[in-house]
Structure 1
């Protein structure tokens, strides 16, 4: 009976990692899609099995001693003080085990930190609560925000498969190329974490951390901010699309064209006058997507954390329109108010400011046009 029980426990220990890798029982680490992530997984499994063997040996000896030296069998406790041989053995064995574990661990850590000879460099900047990506030498940069709808978060609509793990603009990377990441933060500490790449680096304000990856398989890979960074920390996902090199080059060229067209469109907007209805419609949409998380959909803010906009402050004062534009465009130093000038287009900036000045009973009657926002961006408000 005892032998059968021990055999069952040993089989269970050995079968657990294999079972944990199945889709129905995700208890183990992911193997990932890079050489480094596979090495991390292999290292993890090696150390796990070493620990399993140690546990079986130690507890096996302990249970054997308990069973075979029990009082009912007439065992009498021996009386001895010390054994030099035993002390040497139980010192050497752990030392050897640590060396066996340290050698592959050191090699893996060195590989994870080797950012030399990269083919592409991407700067990643975290802020509350979004990621900004900039491709070096390509004149491409964009913000990546949560794409899960508020209705899903509020449980008024059915949640989709990738709930809270979907973004409006994913990071696109080439397969088979060494990509170097420069990771920093605009405000508080964030952490850029994609398990499939075995990349998890803190984004610290004022500092730049480096990491790298070389993706082996095309696909969509998801991650999250792994550092508690504020009330919407859970709404800061990461999505990476890995494309074959030819498809990546096509995406690169298409994105360059799209961003150039957007810049040309903004210049065209400078001569346009948008109607109040058009500004309010676009402004509400932009506000709910970018501002409501702090100032709340009703403009009441969160007392002690984020100021209200309804009926108070620059948004409700007809004589402070220029100041209102400046706050939205440049942000406010020393507070959580970010600079939205680099994040939104002229049309969205003009619309959201107009919306804030005419929603929730503010009713200033002011309309803000793209040309006025551009003047502030150029420093003409100073």
Structure 2
């Protein structure tokens, strides 16, 4: 063998080694990682598959696009680094001199186009399926307000508010935080697992967003508009979400909890809820004839105030200057009882003061107004009765 042939063989072997290290090895490493992706799919660094067919389609689409992007990245960077190493100046490489290449331009236009079409087809199918809320078995209206959710089951006579269930002492760091800190509510949304559920989502005040990752449902709640979504849950269980729109100072205290039950269990719950709400309405009518004492009103009123009013107006009634008015020494409270009742019942347009007419019972409304009129030195001596609230409602 001639010395020239030996040199050429050595150079060829060196090129093979460099190509293996720069291109082949990374590609093999990528392929090994991709084969392990389904196994690692449920780690905290990745999306979850969820418990609905749509959420699993979204997860599959996510994994498909991720793999395509990863392969493109490795191939492109592999070729780029190979070219840099094998055509570097120190090896005597000379830069090619050319202007335009119709073949290359056609190639780098067609290849991305084909890849995008391949990605767009499954993505479009999934998006169309996500928007098809037709032929639903149950409709639930979801209304966001600062900072709670209101749920109403159409044609079932059941509706309720769902508020943060985490204790204030946990938020203030006075006691240990629970397992579901800031992700627990007093009344979860109860849904069946054997039916298609349609959501009608809107808002009373600002823009909220109802987000349930396990269902792959995320829809904005916009005042004056109704957005539509749907789900069909495959597995019973407790699922947690949050408001995903920055909706004000207590945005982080607006969780969503769904209690998914089998069809029979849901039917039992719905029947019991209908009975409880009918009994509550009958009990409210009986309240119209009762007379609450000052002590009873102040005790219940303080509890209600701390639950629904103190976040804005503060526990001491002094409010937050420039944001929420003080109730302590308020001219409206001290001098205009009718206006005080009206603003608690119906809120004030253009402000954060929302309506509590449907959020609180007759007794709670009367008690909290009594408390505000007599706490912090206001001392009007007025005791508001449930009949006063009903009269204000009739005179609306």
TM-score (norm 1): 0.94
Residue 241 of structure 2: aligned partner: 223
Residue 179 of structure 2: aligned partner: 161
> Which of 258, 262, 266 is matched with 1:248 structurally?
266
Partner secondary structure for residue 152 of structure 2: strand
Note the aligned Cα RMSD (angstroms). Answer: 1.8
> Which of 170, 174, 196 is matched with 2:188 structurally?
170
1:72 deviates by 3.2
1:314 deviates by 2.5
Residue 347 of structure 1: aligned partner: 363
Judge conservation of contact 1:13–1:52 (CA < 8 Å) in 2: no
Count how many residue pairs are aligned between Structure 1 and Structure 2: 376
Judge conservation of contact 2:301–2:371 (CA < 8 Å) in 1: yes
Alpha carbons of structure 1 residues 105 and 351: separation in structure 2 relative to 1, 3 Å? same
Residue 306 of structure 2: aligned partner: 288
Residue 107 of structure 2: aligned partner: 89
Larger radius of gyration: 2
Alpha carbons of structure 1 residues 42 and 310: separation in structure 2 relative to 1, 3 Å? same
Judge conservation of contact 2:30–2:71 (CA < 8 Å) in 1: no
1:47-196 alignment runs, 5 A limit: 47-196=65-214
Judge conservation of contact 1:121–1:135 (CA < 8 Å) in 2: yes
Deviations 1:216-262 (A, max 9, x none): 00011111111111111111111111100000000000001111111
1:208 deviates by 0.7
Deviations 1:163-196 (A, max 9, x none): 1111111111100210011111111111111111
> Which of 21, 31, 36 is matched with 2:41 structurally?
21
Partner Cα separation in structure 1 for residue 351 and residue 80 of structure 2: 60
Deviations 1:285-307 (A, max 9, x none): 11111011111111111111111
Residue 371 of structure 1: aligned partner: 387
User: Which 10-residue stretch deviates more, 246-255 or 59-68?
Assistant: 59-68
Residue 252 of structure 2: aligned partner: 234
> Which of 325, 345, 352 is matched with 2:341 structurally?
325
1:124 deviates by 0.7
Gapped runs of 5+ residues in structure 1?
Answer: none
Partner secondary structure for residue 379 of structure 2: coil
Residue 38 of structure 1: aligned partner: 56
Partner secondary structure for residue 172 of structure 1: strand
Judge conservation of contact 2:212–2:242 (CA < 8 Å) in 1: yes
Judge conservation of contact 1:31–1:41 (CA < 8 Å) in 2: yes
Partner Cα separation in structure 2 for residue 18 and residue 294 of structure 1: 47
Partner secondary structure for residue 108 of structure 1: helix
Partner Cα separation in structure 2 for residue 74 and residue 189 of structure 1: 63
Partner secondary structure for residue 155 of structure 1: coil
1:10 deviates by 2.8
Partner Cα separation in structure 2 for residue 90 and residue 332 of structure 1: 60
Judge conservation of contact 2:342–2:392 (CA < 8 Å) in 1: yes
Judge conservation of contact 1:122–1:182 (CA < 8 Å) in 2: yes
Judge conservation of contact 1:20–1:26 (CA < 8 Å) in 2: no
The ranges of structure 1 where at least 4 consecutive aligned residues each deviate by more than 6 angstroms after the TM superposition are none
Judge conservation of contact 1:170–1:238 (CA < 8 Å) in 2: yes
1:356-367 alignment runs, 5 A limit: 356-367=372-383
Judge conservation of contact 1:133–1:171 (CA < 8 Å) in 2: yes
Partner Cα separation in structure 1 for residue 354 and residue 302 of structure 2: 19
